[in-house]
Amino acid sequence: MKYPVVLHPDKLLKRKAEKVTAITEELVTMLDNMYETMVAHDGVGLAAPQIGQSLRVAVIQADEEDDILELINPELVAYEGETVDIEACLSIPGQYGLVPRYDRIVIRYFDREGVEYELEADDYFSRIIQHEMDHLDGGLFIDKATKLMTEEEMVQYMEELEND
Ligand SMILES: [Zn+2]
């Protein structure tokens, strides 16, 4: 089942989400539905506040061939470096921005079996994780962006990058 995506400036997107205290059947169903919703919108990540659930949960799939990453109660444990790149968000259609993020991160999280993992990520993958984790604290990329762009400006920016 697909969920409707909560759109900016809905107050739900600004709220700090609650920790998951138990992995229930409802939570597992929600994870499946979040993935379906993300794929239906051609997204690479979706956080629970974006479907109206104030919970510290996110799903991520940077590439169709990647495994689905499900983050429950993720915590940032280490980070280094900084890069600036383009971001977009399913909750803010048509808006793009240049956003500084840590280059490399280590996070700790639980999966749907309740097993705790530590994960190291860099580049684009690390960027998606940071974007989704921001959602859990009520953060949006437009608040961190050093420059906001329309779709037209973003396409132009990408073309200039390729011509460099
Ligand atoms: Zn987003």
Q: What is the pLDDT of residue 87?
A: 97
User: Are the beta carbons of 72 and 56 closer than 8 angstroms?
Assistant: yes
Question: Which residues lie below 8 Å from residue 126, measured CB to CB, with a gap of 6+?
Answer: 101, 102, 103, 104, 105
Q: Provide the residues around ligand 1 (an ion) whose CB is within 5 A.
A: 89
CA–CA separation, 135 vs 51, rounded Å?
11
The residue behind tokens 């809905």 is 10
pLDDT in tens, 94-117: 999 999 999 999 999 999 999 999
Q: How far is the CA of 8 from the centre of ligand 1 (A)?
A: 10
Length of the chain: 164
Tokens of 93: 């259609």
| Residues acting as catalytic residues | 132
Which residue numbers in the chain have pLDDT < 50? none
The distance in angstroms from the start CA to the end CA of the chain is: 44
Q: Can you give 56-114 as a three-state secondary structure string?
A: CEEEECCCCCCCCEEEEEEEEEEEECCEEEEECCCCCCCEEEEEEECCEEEEEEECCCC
Tell how far the Cα of 22 is from the centroid of ligand 1, in angstroms.
Answer: 25
Confirm whether residue 89 is marked as ligand binding: yes
From the candidate CATH numbers 3.40.1350.10, 3.90.230.10, 3.90.45.10, 3.90.100.10, the one assigned to the domain spanning 11-163: 3.90.45.10
Rounded distance, CA 112 to CA 81, Å?
30
Burial of 65 (0-12, 13-18, 19+ CB in 10 A): exposed
The conformational region for residue 138 under phi > 0 = left, psi -120 to 50 = alpha, else beta, is left
Q: Is the CB of residue 67 less than 8 Å from the CB of residue 119?
A: no
- pLDDT digit string (tens) for 126-137? 999 999 999 999
* pLDDT given at position 1: 94
Please indicate if the annotation marks 8 as binding a ligand: no
Report CA(29)–ligand 1 centroid distance (Å): 21
Token pair listed for 154: 């973003």
Q: Is 41 labeled as ligand-binding? A: no
Give the Å distance between the CA of 89 and the centre of ligand 1. Answer: 4
pLDDT at 77: 98
